[in-house]
């Protein structure tokens, strides 16, 4: 009999197929003591396993490219953390086997982070996956991974680690459903990049029986268990209609009455540029520069290396707009040469612009490199700072840009509620705003964006979050300046219409989402988008806001 479950839709599309469950490694190795004379050999085994897993993660990243590459390289750094390795070797020295020492060291590290309230504690899937891979290699058992199957299927997992998500074969994995995770988790972001329908934070997902036929709607978050022939036909017709609309959609982003809404791409480096160009991106709304800093050298990249990477991206969008975010380090992206090692809560500490202002030489080198990379190019370069809290932050950043001789527009990211509340003040110092809705939701609701248990509060449809977006857009309008969205909210076609109605002037997203958003905007007038935005803000919950906007746009 058909039943309906509801999770959080994070990647558009419909998938219908049989359930297959994610394989897992043995989670807990046996506890046994080893003789003292074997300690050195066991320590060697542990080091070899760690290096092998790190190398495998990097190799997977190189194969996957794009956003996945940066995520997996960060995971490899996690595996090679020197403090963790020192803890493993200490445990072996007092009698633990290599596999047990790894298991216990990771458990201790995880508990320490959770107890300190650190942002990294939310990356459960990433941390556990690294541990499982090392332990599996030491035990000689199969690595965690997707099931072997000759037939296409819907993948079910408690959570998906980036290493598994990055190399999913869309020809076999029709879609996936996880019990944990949130709309801005690594798995959700990578699913959108792959174009695989996905639903996360579905309670009881792991209890779905192997072989059960389910239909996954990645737009609504609905899961239909044993769908009726009528339901299957309706979902397939809807998917076909959506595919036809995408095929017919091209050109710049605009509403049906001609109101222009530039559709830009989020990129993590030169490797993401081809997909953005192919999707018809009108420029780059978020160029994440962290990829240059996440190597194992322990120092910032040279000015020359930065110039080369930046110019590659700038050259891909002649006459287009490219918005570069300067280094956003700290919290889940710690850097040894930049990030304090003893912060009790990095998400609320020295991260983003705060780190750069404490290390002005790093900021100065990056800004100088951007200035040189843009020389002689017809691109419209804009540079923005992450984690701007107030006018003082904005002024300090603008002053640094001028001192570096940067001929570009300077902007501020709105990721902290204070920046939205005082947006007009901040705009006295900078020329544009860009809303990072992922972090803005996290800080507005005190809800870690990686924790599935609070995914309700990470939903970008939350009316309080829409209020902050509206406040920022209104401030920009009053100052005659622009206000874009570069967070994951922009990738939702329905929400994109609402954001447009709130006064947002551009939308930036993963390249795979651009055709969906373009087609959605083209169906409605600006006035319809404005009415939908008003209806959404008048609601009291994210679900009601979504329904209210949908009702307006469908003419109900």
Exposure b/e, 327-341, CB count within 10 A at least 16 = b: bbbbbbbbbeebbee
The yes-or-no answer on residue 486 being catalytic is: yes
CA 423 centroid distance within chain: 24
**Catalytic site residue from 70, 186, 483, 497:** 186
In sequence order, the β-bridge partners of residue 485 are: 435, 507
What are the start-end ranges of the H helices in 94-223? Answer: 98-116, 124-139, 162-166, 186-194
Q: Which two tokens stand for residue 208?
A: 């779905």
Burial (CB count within 10 angstroms: exposed 0-12, middle 13-18, buried 19+), residue 261? buried
The yes-or-no answer on residue 259 being catalytic is: no
Closest alpha carbon to 506 in 536, 476, 533: 476
Which strands make up the sheet holding 8-11, listed edge to edge?
A: 3-6, 222-225, 213-217, 14-21, 153-157, 173-178, 198-200, 8-11
Q: Which two tokens stand for residue 222?
A: 């609905």
Specify whether the CB–CB gap between 191 and 10 falls below 8 A: yes
As a whole number of angstroms, the distance between CA 47 and CA 134 comes to 10
Q: How far apart are the first and last CA of the chain?
A: 30
**Catalytic site residue from 12, 401, 483, 486:** 486
CA 453 centroid distance within chain: 18
As a whole number of angstroms, the distance between CA 405 and CA 297 comes to 28
- CB 98: neighbour CB atoms within 10 A? 30
Element (H, E) at 354: helix 353-358
Contacts of 79 (CB under 8 A, 6+ apart): 50, 53, 54, 57, 130, 133, 134
As a whole number of angstroms, the distance between CA 305 and CA 293 comes to 11
Q: Which two tokens stand for residue 94?
A: 């007092």
Length of the chain: 556
Q: Are strands 173-178 and 8-11 parallel, antiparallel or unpaired?
A: unpaired
* Residues labelled as active-site residues: 186, 486
């Amino acid at each position: 009999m058909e039943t309906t479950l509801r999770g959080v839709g994070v990647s558009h599309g419909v998938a219908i197929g049989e359930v297959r469950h994610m394989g897992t490694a043995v989670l807990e190795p046996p506890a046994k003591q080893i003789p003292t004379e074997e300690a050195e050999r066991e320590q060697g085994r542990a080091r070899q396993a760690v290096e092998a897993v790190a190398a495998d993660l990097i190799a997977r990243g190189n194969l996957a490219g794009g956003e996945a590459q940066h995520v997996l390289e960060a995971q490899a750094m996690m595996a090679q953390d020197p403090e963790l390795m020192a803890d493993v070797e200490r445990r072996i020295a007092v009698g633990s086997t290599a596999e047990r020492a790894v298991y216990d060291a990771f458990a201790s590290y995880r508990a320490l982070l959770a107890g300190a309230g650190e942002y990294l504690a939310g990356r459960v899937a990433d941390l556990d996956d690294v541990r499982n891979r090392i332990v599996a290699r030491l035990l000689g058992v199969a690595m965690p991974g997707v099931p072997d199957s000759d037939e296409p299927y819907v993948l079910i997992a408690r959570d998906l680690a980036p290493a598994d998500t990055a190399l999913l074969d869309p020809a076999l994995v029709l879609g996936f459903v996880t019990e944990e995770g949130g709309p801005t988790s690594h798995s959700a972001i990578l699913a959108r990049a792959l174009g695989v329908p996905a639903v996360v934070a579905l309670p009881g997902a792991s209890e779905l029986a192997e072989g059960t036929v389910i239909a996954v709607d990645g737009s609504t978050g609905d899961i239909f268990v044993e769908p009726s022939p009528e339901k299957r036909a309706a979902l397939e017709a809807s998917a076909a209609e959506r595919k036809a609309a995408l095929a017919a959609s091209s050109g710049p982003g605009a509403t049906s009455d001609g109101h222009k809404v530039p559709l830009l791409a989020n990129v993590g480096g030169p490797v993401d540029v081809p997909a953005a160009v192919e999707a018809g991106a009108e420029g780059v709304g978020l160029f994440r520069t962290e990829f240059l800093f996440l190597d194992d050298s322990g120092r910032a990249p040279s000015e020359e290396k930065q110039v080369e990477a930046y110019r590659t991206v700038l050259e891909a969008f002649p006459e287009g707009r490219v918005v570069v975010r300067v280094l956003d380090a700290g919290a889940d992206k710690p850097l040894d040469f930049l990030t304090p090692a003893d912060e009790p809560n990095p998400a609320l500490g020295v991260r983003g612009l705060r780190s750069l202002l404490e290390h002005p030489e790093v900021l100065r080198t990056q800004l100088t490199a951007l200035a040189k990379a843009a020389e002689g190019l017809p691109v419209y370069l804009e540079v923005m700072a992450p984690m701007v809290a107030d006018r003082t932050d904005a002024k300090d950043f603008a002053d640094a840009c001028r001192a570096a001789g940067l001929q570009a527009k300077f902007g501020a990211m709105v990721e902290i509620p204070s920046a939205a509340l005082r947006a007009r003040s901040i705009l006295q110092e900078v020329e544009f705003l860009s809303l990072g809705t992922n972090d803005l939701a996290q800080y507005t609701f005190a809800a870690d964006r990686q924790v599935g248990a609070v995914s309700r509060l990470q939903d970008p449809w939350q009316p309080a979050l829409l209020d902050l977006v509206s406040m920022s857009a209104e401030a920009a309008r009053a100052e005659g300046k622009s206000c874009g969205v570069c967070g994951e909210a922009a990738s939702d076609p329905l929400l994109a219409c609402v954001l447009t109605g709130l006064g947002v002037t551009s939308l930036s997203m993963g390249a795979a989402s651009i055709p969906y958003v373009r087609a959605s905007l083209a169906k409605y007038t600006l006035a319809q988008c404005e009415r939908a935005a008003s209806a959404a803000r008048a609601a009291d919950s994210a679900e009601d806001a979504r329904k209210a906007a949908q009702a307006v746009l469908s003419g109900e």
